Homo-oligomer: A and B are copies of this chain.
Amino acid sequence: MRRLSLNQWTTRRWSVPEAVDGCVRHGIEAIGLWREQVGEYGLAASVAAVAGAGLRVSSLCRGGFLTSGGALRDNRRAVDEAAALGAACLVMVVGGLPGVPPGGEPRPGFSRDLPGARERVREALDALVPYAAERGVRLALEPLHPMYCADRAVLSTLGQALDLAAPYPAERVGVVVDAFHVWWDPALPEQLARAGAARRIASYQVCDWPQPLPADVLLGRAMMGDGVIDLGALTDAVAAAGYTGDVEVEIFNAALWAADPDEVLTTMKSRYRSEILRA
């Protein structure tokens, strides 16, 4: 169980100190933090909380949205926060088409130019990497499921993420392998092997794909074992690629958010054991 990490949005209503205390109470040694909650509690206080509890910060979520105006300034702040927290990586959700807000309707004058948006991501990343490198922060490019291409991430496959990362050293720019986003990809075996050979896997996140999807597809993520993903096989493939870091449980799910977070952690540990460790 030592590699299990709680991503803070799995217990979204918990503040940073509540989530830290929850990890300690449940014997979880690592946490993935979110900038929203870190901002609410304060960066210095958050740093002190995780340090005091002796937790690893497996990731900070999230930088990105590089296709919007003013992105660089906000991403530099995110890098500074990741550096202060000693996060293993800063997760980057790169953003959708310019003018298409997450979950919303396209604004007048929005762009349909998908190759152009992808080029904009490349350029913004190129401007951000040196800043992150100076502060010892590893950026982790997260391909999102193609159903979020328009509004959240024009980065849609692991292969595309590896192409985007390729110009930079692996210790500066890695990729996120999130089961929910990549499980369907017919190129996954070869791209996982490629990611492993290049030492690019910066984060492995798990949850499950519920079938059918709920009305709000953003919240369409299930506890491990409650969906259709073969998490055992995926975990084996990630291990075969040489990844030995934390396994972060990140679940966006309205029912889980409404439940008692301590019960969620109990279930999460049980399912981590049965579905990921298969012990």
On A, residues with C-beta under 8 Å from B are 97, 100, 103-106, 110, 112-114, 118, 145-147, 149-151, 156-157, 159-160, 183-187, 209, 211-213, 215-217, 228-230
Contact = CB atoms under 8 A, between A and B. Distances in A.
Nearest to A189: B115
Contact of A147 (B112, B146, B150): B146
12 contacts: A104-B212, A105-B211, A105-B212, A106-B228, A112-B228, A113-B230, A118-B186, A145-B146, A146-B146, A147-B213, A149-B183, A151-B211
Q: What secondary structure prevails in chain A residues at the interface with B? A: loop
Contacts of A106: 211, 228
A27 B103 CA distance: 39
Contacts of A217: 147, 213, 217
Contacts of A150: 184, 209, 211, 228
Given A103-B212, A106-B228, A228-B106, A146 B185 contact: yes
